[in-house]
Structure 1
Amino acid sequence: MGMTSIAAIAAGLLTIGCSADLTDSTAHVTPTPPAIAATSTAPATGYDGLTGVPLSAYGTSEQDDVLLHRTNEALVARCMQNRGYTSYSGQKKTRAAAKTKEEKEAIHPAGAWGYIGSATAKRIGFHVAVPLSATQGPTGRELKDYNACWDKADKQVPSLAGTRGWKLTQDLFGQSFQQAAADSRVGAARERWSDCMSTAGHPADDPEELANGFLNAEKATAKEIAAATADESCTRSSNLAAVYFAVLTGYQQQLISANAEVLTGYKKQVQAQVDRAAHLLAASNTT
């Protein structure tokens, strides 16, 4: 049961430099620089900005992904218990949606838009990756049974990864990122950001490159925290995040209009998948 949230897809595309393998299913759109408000407002966090753009309505939400994960775990646990592993209760990896401002700030906070929250910058700089819990997985015969149970669970709530709507949504996200990156208003805001960073003593051309340059270190250094704090301040003064998300929204609206039929069908597929998962989870909790 693959995770297909648009936030995850978008973050992944940003990480690989906004490239996308555009398929023939994508309707060709000649981008028109969208009109944006004279005074755009920056999202509360980069996470809010990404999950609030129009294309994020197509695909699973983070809450949906948590539900799908819990359903998968419940189905696998029941299957394993039926195979004789009476004490099996799951892999002990918990998933929860980001709720607090601090949790949201720490999800891919730099990105192409330069956003990083002040609390995060001062506390951990750009070191925001959430460590995965290191749990001992099954081995030997138990691993074979686990894989069989996982396959069985996956068939009960099939992943939408690889479907036409899923591919199209990724492609459109990729297109919109490329269009926003090439927009002159985003370019001007990024130049203001870069000038501000130079003045602050942390010369940089690109917010994401700046952040990634520190991530080989085991933990944030004083230099990193100073750079992250300057990034947060310069992002505000340059209005980079506000301009970026306003422009991105405009391009996505154009792409959605040109691909409405497939996207609407995909949205219905996602809802049916989530509804089925909720039904199966409820049934597993009552038996």
Structure 2
Amino acid sequence: MCTALLALTAISSCSSSPKNENNSEPEIPAIPRIIAAASLRLPLQDYLLTDRQLRDLDQARVVLIDRCMRRFGFGYSVQQPTANYGPRSATERRYGITDASDAAEHGYGLGNRDPALQKPPAKPRLGVDAQTVLFGKGRSSIKGLKVPDGGCVAQADQSLGTTAPAGTDPGLAQQLSFQSFDRSKADSRVLKVTRAWSDCMAHSGYEYTDPLAPLADPGLSGSTSARTIGTATTDIRCKKSTNLVGVWFAVESAYQKQLIDQNSEQLKGLKQANGARARAADALTAGG
């Protein structure tokens, strides 16, 4: 996957966050001055599978399904994407657009990284018996062999998940990531910088109260009109002048650290499980 240029350019020496009187909002030792967000890394990402690991797991899943299907005389293959689509990282558009060159050329689009350009992989053509083996629905045996409970799909998923410690919730880190985003969005420091960004946009004639709103604006989606490019480039300029990304990233990082402390044991187990799953996927895809 493409790696964006380093986004962190400096640490403000005079931007220490004051203590909160009610102590409900976490303290921030310093707020970074950030230009773009693609290369940023939030604390909870240590407990999430990377894009590459997810792709490897998808490939390993296909390998296991194919092995299972071949026992019944069927094959199974899925064409893998040949290019990377979508944002460069989990943080690139977490706080809205932040890449100046993308904004100037594509507005709020992604250019040749737009997922809409990706053709969905062709689905394998399977007969009735093969579908029964794949999903485990229908007859309990095919060609004299017992169909696994849930079919070859369930068997593959179980094989890739057997290394997880008991009670491990594979979705915990993602759930906490949603929580940290919601909490940070409602934080007084983020609300303050969001208002400053909105005022900056309004001075140029663009009325948005939320830096995520332009991404959802149907009038801008898929467009590279002068209005769209103008909105996007102003959006970037206002984010720079207010340091919206730096403030929001610092605030959300603080919330994530709190959540990690509160869920340390469960996250420790999840990290071990992710590592084991990734190693299992590596072994399967390497050996075919």
Q: TM over 0.5: same fold?
A: yes
Q: CA RMSD in A?
A: 3.0
User: 1:36 corresponds to which letter in structure 2?
Assistant: P
Higher relative helix content:
1
Provide the residue aligned with 1:149 in structure 2: 152
Change (3 A) 1:269 1:232: same
Tell whether 2:169 aligns with 1:183. no
User: Aligned partners of 2:221 and 2:237: how far apart in 1?
Assistant: 23
Aligned residues: 243
Local SS of the residue matching 1:204: coil
User: Aligned partners of 1:156 and 1:235: how far apart in 2?
Assistant: 46
Per-residue displacement from partner, 1:200-231 (whole Å, max 9, x unpaired)?
22121111112101378554433222211111
Paired residue for 2:106, among 124, 146, 149? 124
**1:57 positional shift:** 0.6
TM-score by length of 1: 0.72
Retained in 1: the 8 A contact 2:201–2:207? yes
User: Aligned partners of 1:275 and 1:231: how far apart in 2?
Assistant: 42
Provide the residue aligned with 2:258 in structure 1: 254
Provide the residue aligned with 2:33 in structure 1: 41
Paired residue for 1:268, among 272, 280, 288? 272
Retained in 2: the 8 A contact 1:58–1:266? yes
Local SS of the residue matching 1:120: helix
Tell whether 2:236 aligns with 1:232. yes
TM-score by length of 2: 0.72
User: 2:218 corresponds to which letter in structure 1?
Assistant: F
- Structure 1 gap segments, 5+ residues each: 1-29
- Structure 2 gap segments, 5+ residues each: 1-22, 136-150
**1:249 positional shift:** 0.8
Paired residue for 1:222, among 215, 223, 226? 226
Provide the residue aligned with 1:114 in structure 2: 96
Local SS of the residue matching 2:161: coil
Retained in 1: the 8 A contact 2:215–2:221? no
User: Aligned partners of 1:277 and 1:93: how far apart in 2?
Assistant: 15
Local SS of the residue matching 1:41: strand
Provide the residue aligned with 1:134 in structure 2: 120
**1:268 positional shift:** 0.9
Change (3 A) 1:43 1:118: closer
Change (3 A) 1:230 1:143: farther
Paired residue for 1:73, among 52, 55, 62? 62
Paired residue for 1:104, among 88, 96, 104? 88
User: Aligned partners of 1:143 and 1:94: how far apart in 2?
Assistant: 23
Provide the residue aligned with 2:80 in structure 1: 93
Paired residue for 2:53, among 46, 60, 64? 64
> After alignment, is 143-152 or 200-209 more displaced?
143-152
